[in-house]
Amino acid sequence: EVRMNESSGRRSASETPTLAPKAQKCKGDPNPVRFSRLPGSAFDGVFRRGKRIGQSSLVLIAQPSPASQPSASPPVVFRLGVMVGRKIIRNAAPRNRLRRILRESFRIHAATAFVRSMDCILMARDAARNFKSRGDADRVIQKLMAKLQ
């Protein structure tokens, strides 16, 4: 039960929900796989050196991660940046929903598609505004990852 401050109607600092950690480990895999967001400072490097694969609704730009360390069994780390411009979807709520759908679809399929650490950017095009569920995004992301291999 969340109690509100009676005078201001706001939650107190101790009652605010905690945020999940940025990187997540995929359960059930023998190899440690982690997913995190691509920091803004790394976008330029991926744009310059990454391999571009496109479809009518999405563009995937990917490059091997410079953070991967050579060792016996290094953790595989996927860093993903998702770009959905205001020209594609004007209102913030549907735009953020599309970002969440793309991020989740990528997270599910990347663990099976890649064997090494990658930095990736997903850019939405006009046709991406028709994605209503994760199933729509799954089909396109699977095709993009197959082309990347």
The three-state (H, E, C) secondary structure of 81-95, written as one string: EEECCCCCCCCHHHH
| Residue 78: predicted pLDDT | 84
Helix (H, G, I), strand (E, B) or coil at 107: helix
| Residue 86: predicted pLDDT | 94
- The predicted model scores a pTM of 0.72
Per-residue pLDDT of the chain (149 residues; tens, 9 = 90+): 445 555 555 555 544 444 334 444 545 545 466 788 888 888 999 999 999 999 999 999 999 887 655 554 567 788 899 999 999 999 999 999 999 999 999 988 887 777 778 899 999 999 998 888 899 999 999 999 888 87
* Predicted confidence (pLDDT) per residue in 84-126, tens digit: 999 999 999 999 999 999 999 998 888 777 777 889 999 999 9
Kind of pairing between the strands at 76-83 and 118-124? parallel
| Residue 89: predicted pLDDT | 93
| Residue 148: predicted pLDDT | 82
Q: Distance (Å, rounded) from C-alpha 52 to C-alpha 61? A: 4
| Residue 19: predicted pLDDT | 39
| Residue 5: predicted pLDDT | 54
Tokens of 117: 């650490």
